[in-house]
Chain A
Amino acid sequence: MTTVTENLICITCPMGCTLQVTHEGSTVLNVEGNNCARGAAYVQRELTDPRRMVATTVRVSGGLHPLVPVYTREPFPKPKIAELLEAIRTVEIDAPVKMEQVILSNALGTGIDVVASRDMPRNAA
Chain B
Amino acid sequence: MQAAISPVRRDYDVIIVGAGVVGAMVARFLSRFDLDILWIEKEADICTGTTSANSAVIHGGYDAVPGSLKAELNVRGNAMWDRLAQELHFSFDRCGTYVVAVGAEERHALEEQAARGRANGVPVEIISGDEMRRREPLVTPETSGALTCSTGGVCDPWGATIAAAENAVMNGVTLLRSTQFEDFLWAQVECSSKRTIAGVRTNQGDFGARWVINAAGVYADTLMHKAGSRPEFKITPRRGEYYVIDRNQFQMDSVLFPVPTKVSKGILVTTTVHGNTIVGPNAEEIEDRDDTAVTTAGMQEIWDGARKLVPSLNQRAIIAVFAGLRPGSNAPSPNPAVAYNKDFVVEIAPEVQGLINLAGIESPGLTAAPAIAERVIELLREAGELLSEKASWDPVRPARPVFRHLSRAEQADLVAREPGYGRVICRCEMVTEGEIVAEIHAPIPADTYDAIKRRTWLGTGRCQGAFDMPRVIEILARELDRDPLTVSKKGSSSEFLTRKTKNAG
The answer to whether A and B touch in the complex, with CB atoms under 8 Å apart, is: yes
**Interface set of A (CB-CB < 8 Å, partner B):** 57-59, 66-67, 89
Number of interface residues of B (CB under 8 A): 3
Q: Shortest CB–CB separation between residue B500 and chain A, in angstroms?
A: 8
For the complex, give the distance between the alpha carbons of A124 and B501 in Å. Answer: 23
For the complex, give the distance between the alpha carbons of A70 and B396 in Å. Answer: 56
Q: Shortest CB–CB separation between residue B475 and chain A, in angstroms?
A: 15
For the complex, give the distance between the alpha carbons of A66 and B483 in Å. Answer: 14
For the complex, give the distance between the alpha carbons of A57 and B502 in Å. Answer: 9
* Chain A contacts for B500, CB-based, 8 A: 66
* Chain B contacts for A57, CB-based, 8 A: 501-502
Q: Shortest CB–CB separation between residue B293 and chain A, in angstroms?
A: 36
For the complex, give the distance between the alpha carbons of A59 and B500 in Å. Answer: 10
Q: Shortest CB–CB separation between residue A31 and chain B, in angstroms?
A: 38
Beta-carbon contacts under 8 Å, B472-505 to A: 500-502
For the complex, give the distance between the alpha carbons of A58 and B502 in Å. Answer: 8
For the complex, give the distance between the alpha carbons of A59 and B501 in Å. Answer: 9
What would 8 A/B residue contacts be, using CB atoms closer than 8 Å? Answer: A57-B501, A57-B502, A58-B502, A59-B502, A66-B500, A67-B501, A67-B502, A89-B502
Q: Shortest CB–CB separation between residue A117 and chain B, in angstroms?
A: 15
For the complex, give the distance between the alpha carbons of A59 and B502 in Å. Answer: 7
Q: Shortest CB–CB separation between residue B474 and chain A, in angstroms?
A: 12
Q: Which 8 pairs across A and B sit closest by C-beta, in order of nearness?
A: A59-B502, A89-B502, A67-B501, A57-B501, A67-B502, A57-B502, A66-B500, A58-B502
Q: Shortest CB–CB separation between residue B472 and chain A, in angstroms?
A: 18
For the complex, give the distance between the alpha carbons of A41 and B500 in Å. Answer: 41
For the complex, give the distance between the alpha carbons of A89 and B502 in Å. Answer: 6
Q: Shortest CB–CB separation between residue B478 and chain A, in angstroms?
A: 11
Q: Shortest CB–CB separation between residue B324 and chain A, in angstroms?
A: 39
For the complex, give the distance between the alpha carbons of A67 and B501 in Å. Answer: 9
**Chain A residue with the shortest CB-CB distance to B504:** A89
**Chain B residue with the shortest CB-CB distance to A58:** B502
* Chain B contacts for A58, CB-based, 8 A: 502
Binary CB contact string for chain B from 179 to 212 against chain A (1 if under 8 A, 0 otherwise): 0000000000000000000000000000000000
For the complex, give the distance between the alpha carbons of A89 and B504 in Å. Answer: 9
* Chain B contacts for A67, CB-based, 8 A: 501-502
* Chain A contacts for B501, CB-based, 8 A: 57, 67
For the complex, give the distance between the alpha carbons of A66 and B501 in Å. Answer: 10
* Chain A contacts for B502, CB-based, 8 A: 57-59, 67, 89
For the complex, give the distance between the alpha carbons of A57 and B500 in Å. Answer: 12
Q: Shortest CB–CB separation between residue A66 and chain B, in angstroms?
A: 8
For the complex, give the distance between the alpha carbons of A23 and B150 in Å. Answer: 82
Q: Shortest CB–CB separation between residue A16 and chain B, in angstroms?
A: 30
**Chain B residue with the shortest CB-CB distance to A91:** B502
For the complex, give the distance between the alpha carbons of A57 and B501 in Å. Answer: 9
For the complex, give the distance between the alpha carbons of A6 and B6 in Å. Answer: 73
Q: Shortest CB–CB separation between residue A123 and chain B, in angstroms?
A: 14
Can you name 6 extra interface pairs (CB under 8 A) apart from A59-B502, A67-B502? A57-B501, A57-B502, A58-B502, A66-B500, A67-B501, A89-B502
For the complex, give the distance between the alpha carbons of A22 and B501 in Å. Answer: 40
For the complex, give the distance between the alpha carbons of A77 and B500 in Å. Answer: 27
For the complex, give the distance between the alpha carbons of A90 and B426 in Å. Answer: 36
For the complex, give the distance between the alpha carbons of A66 and B499 in Å. Answer: 14
Beta-carbon contacts under 8 Å, B108-122 to A: none
* Chain B contacts for A89, CB-based, 8 A: 502
* Chain B contacts for A59, CB-based, 8 A: 502
For the complex, give the distance between the alpha carbons of A102 and B500 in Å. Answer: 24
Q: Shortest CB–CB separation between residue B498 and chain A, in angstroms?
A: 16
For the complex, give the distance between the alpha carbons of A26 and B410 in Å. Answer: 73
For the complex, give the distance between the alpha carbons of A89 and B500 in Å. Answer: 11
For the complex, give the distance between the alpha carbons of A66 and B502 in Å. Answer: 10
Q: Shortest CB–CB separation between residue B67 and chain A, in angstroms?
A: 66
For the complex, give the distance between the alpha carbons of A67 and B503 in Å. Answer: 12
Q: Shortest CB–CB separation between residue A90 and chain B, in angstroms?
A: 8
**Chain B residue with the shortest CB-CB distance to A86:** B504
**Chain A residue with the shortest CB-CB distance to B500:** A66
For the complex, give the distance between the alpha carbons of A66 and B470 in Å. Answer: 14
For the complex, give the distance between the alpha carbons of A120 and B381 in Å. Answer: 68
Q: Shortest CB–CB separation between residue B505 and chain A, in angstroms?
A: 10
For the complex, give the distance between the alpha carbons of A67 and B500 in Å. Answer: 10
